[in-house]
Amino acid sequence: MSLLSAVRVVVLVGAVFAAAPTAYAQISAQRLALCAACHGADGNSQIKGIPSLAAQPKLFLETQLVLIREGVRDIPSMKGMLNGVSDAEVTALAKYYADKPLAPVPTDRDAEVFARGGKLAEGMRCGICHLPTYLGREQIPRLAGQREDYLLLSMQQFKNNQAIGRDSNMAASVYGVSDQDLQDISYYLARLTPATTATGQ
Amino acid sequence: MKNYLRAISGLGLALAFGMSAQAQTAAPAAAPAAAPPPAWKQGMPESMAKSTLAPLPGKLVATKAADVPIDKIKLPPGFKVEVWADSIPGGRAITEGENGKYYVGTRALGRIYEITDNGKERTSRVLVDKLQQPTAAYKDGSLYVVAIDKVLRFDGIAKNPNPTPVDITANFKFPPLPHHNWKYVAFGPDGKLYVPFGAPCNICVEPTTEYSQIRRYNPDGTGMEVLATGVRNSVGFDWHPVTKELWFSNHGRDWMGDDTPNDTMHRLKLKANYGFPYCHEGKIPDPDVKKANACAGVEPPVALMGPHAATMGVKFYSGDMFPAEYKNVLFNARKGSWNRTKKIGYDVVMVRADADGKNAKVEPFMTGFLNEADQSWWGRPAYLHQMKDGSLLVSDEQNGVIYRVTYKK
């Protein structure tokens, strides 16, 4: 999607969201439209390389929104977009997207790649922090059902020291892991839903 | 960064993943290059592979005083607590300037707050932001802001609220790795700036000798001296009011079980070795990083502060407001454990000891942040500051507020 078409979506979605639900009264309609332009109106991104926000832990969203607003986490395409957004609105936005249901995960599945990715993720102990279900918790993001291209991009950023301002505990987790392995892990995680993970939360 | 990781990767892998797990994850065709685990996870044994213990979440948005459940805080009889400052997310160490100004740093948020106390109420502003885990110290009219990779001096800040900072980073020659390298800094009775450098891992042989130390510098960054080595991660210290010796807190390693080793409190003996990575508590050889006679010549602690308790800010009480028996007592904030199945800490304790460090006893002072029964917690005391009137400020990093503890007969 080009920037121009993203702007058109802003206008369209702005109309749809003109009346924000009262639970999220602190959120301005324009802000929601701006988020929706890239992350999807329901928080399920339709754009390559852009993460879905739906069903992420609220605290994870809140923390990242603050770090991006402060310029500590540097996302060039979001630079300045959160300037002046109050803490209360950040919290409301986090809750808004945390409450949105995740869209169905891709149904195509290469059993061999899926299995290999699962084994890699287990061996790398992703589940210690992200939980064995990969649903995430508190400040730790949900991996299950996230966009495959974004999972890969994000892990590559950590691997290449480009995840500035993000969790330094995560930073060393993927150093030296081959791109093929990261691809397989992404393939696996993107196709996981709570129903298909072995253990409950 | 890369070189360091290569240096420790062999060790880290053997320690944290174990060779069997590594073999399992290796692709048949393209085996991944050696991937060290994150620094905090190094040393995790196979037996804990299914553990879900992980560092606890912080909170980066403002909390109002009215939303702090202050009635839950417990203190000895006669003591009172109030929320003295609020809405400073991530606020950590407190340093006092002039004319009712206080400076409070943060970690993730990258801010230094300036709090102004007019005697009745407090207002705050962000003095500087976008820094890497900054903290502050104050001397002779200048505020020193110390981040992981930067030292900025704000001259004459009492008169000019927005001085252009002088960058004196180069003089200090800080090591680059960020893990365990947030620094507590303070000026000593000798006018020198004391700066600790944590180990960049949970447990490892350090990639270079610049880590696991306590140093002091002239205020301009010249005249560096290494005062102590083998200090894993000290994030709090103060000088004994009588002996003028430096006493410092130190975090013990993780992934060695619920009860081993303890965090520790130490006296600084010039050029002494405090054991890391080979020896903990002055007497426990490390099971992963081994050498013969691991504890020989290692300076033992004054007091054991609890395993994984996260012993933070240290303050000897020298005021007149608290009862006489509190004179020269060491207060210590314990931010609370994550690497332990049953939580401990989340409090401020007192260490009563002889001036030479003997006969130390650790007793609770400020509690109520942790619910033992259901293991829930709502606050994490981190740093302490004694005000001129003898009251005690306690920062709660979780809620981004500062409490003031007072005493009245």
CB A66 within 8 Å of CB A5: no
Where residue B312 falls among pLDDT bands split at 50, 70, 90?
A: very high
Kindly give the residue spans of alpha helices, DSSP state H, lying in B84-208: 169-172
Average pLDDT, rounded, for chain B:
90
Query: Is A120 in Cβ contact with B25 (below 8 Å)?
Result: yes
Domains identified in chain A and CATH numbers? 3-98 (1.10.760.10), 111-196 (1.10.760.10)
Please tell me whether residue A7 adopts helix, strand or coil conformation: helix
Report the number of secondary-structure helices (H) and strands (E) in chain A. 9, 0
pLDDT of residue A160: 84
Examine the pLDDT at B257 and tell me if it is beyond 80: yes
pLDDT of residue B4: 37
Same domain, residue pair B214 and B288:
yes
Same domain, residue pair B211 and B256:
yes
Same domain, residue pair B69 and B33:
no
Would B154 be classed as within a structural domain? no
How far is A9 from chain B, CA to nearest CA, in Å? 30
Would B223 be classed as within a structural domain? yes
The rounded distance, in Å, linking the Cα atoms of A161 and A166 is: 10
Strand order in the sheet with B142-147: B135-139, B142-147, B150-155, B166-167
> Over the stretch A35-69, which tens digit does the pLDDT of each residue have?
999 999 999 999 999 999 999 999 999 999 999 99
The rounded distance, in Å, linking the Cα atoms of B116 and B239 is: 26
Where residue B1 falls among pLDDT bands split at 50, 70, 90?
A: very low
Nearest alpha carbon to residue B407 among B326, B291, B303? B326
Same domain, residue pair B328 and B375:
yes
Instruction: Say which residues have a Cβ less than 8 Å from residue B209's Cβ, sequence separation at least 6.
Output: none
Please state the rounded mean pLDDT for residues B307-312: 98
Where residue B10 falls among pLDDT bands split at 50, 70, 90?
A: very low
Residue A13: both structure tokens together = 């979605």
Please state the rounded mean pLDDT for residues B145-155: 97
The rounded distance, in Å, linking the Cα atoms of A182 and A71 is: 27
Would B130 be classed as within a structural domain? no
Where residue B24 falls among pLDDT bands split at 50, 70, 90?
A: very low
Centroid of chain to Cα A102: 11
Which element (helix H / strand E) includes B20? helix B18-25
Same domain, residue pair B250 and B287:
yes
Site of tokens 């520790």: B264
Please state the rounded mean pLDDT for residues B203-227: 96
Site of tokens 């995840």: A163
CB B379 within 8 Å of CB B67: no
* A163-167, B101-105, B120-124, B327-331, range with the lowest pLDDT: A163-167
Would B163 be classed as within a structural domain? no
Examine the pLDDT at B15 and tell me if it is beyond 50: no
The rounded distance, in Å, linking the Cα atoms of B126 and A170 is: 28
The rounded distance, in Å, linking the Cα atoms of B251 and B334 is: 10
pLDDT of residue A174: 83
Question: A8-45 burial string, b = 16+ CB within 10 Å, else e?
Answer: ebbeebbeebeebeeebebbeeebbbbbbbbbbbebbb
Same domain, residue pair B200 and B252:
yes
Instruction: Say which residues have a Cβ less than 8 Å from residue B102's Cβ, sequence separation at least 6.
Output: B85, B94, B95, B96, B114, B115, B116, B117, B385, B393
Examine the pLDDT at A26 and tell me if it is beyond 70: yes
Mutate which: B2, B51, B60, vs A, most A CBs within 10 A? B60
Query: Is B5 in Cβ contact with A175 (below 8 Å)?
Result: yes
Examine the pLDDT at B184 and tell me if it is beyond 80: yes
Examine the pLDDT at B290 and tell me if it is beyond 90: yes
- Name the domain count of chain B: 2
pLDDT of residue A19: 46
B interface with A, Cβ–Cβ below 8 Å: 1, 5, 9, 17, 21-22, 24-25, 27, 30-41, 49-62, 89, 108-111, 129-130, 178-179
Give the whole-number percent of chain A exceeding pLDDT 70. Answer: 83
Same domain, residue pair B200 and B265:
yes
Average pLDDT, rounded, for chain A:
86
Where residue A22 falls among pLDDT bands split at 50, 70, 90?
A: low
Same domain, residue pair B323 and B377:
yes
Chain A contact set for B39 (CB, 8 A) = 168-169, 172
pLDDT of residue A173: 77
CATH of the domain at B205: 2.120.10.30
Nearest Cα residue in chain A from B30: A178
Question: Would you say the pTM of this structure is higher than 0.80?
Answer: yes
The domain of B25 spans: 2-37
A interface with B, Cβ–Cβ below 8 Å: 59, 62-63, 66-67, 70-72, 87-88, 90-91, 116, 119-120, 123-125, 127-129, 131-132, 138-140, 161, 168-178, 180-181
Nearest alpha carbon to residue B313 among B376, B393, B245? B393
Same domain, residue pair B224 and B305:
yes
Chain A contact set for B56 (CB, 8 A) = 138
Examine the pLDDT at A15 and tell me if it is beyond 50: no
Examine the pLDDT at B260 and tell me if it is beyond 60: yes
Please state the rounded mean pLDDT for residues B179-190: 94
Please state the rounded mean pLDDT for residues B18-41: 44
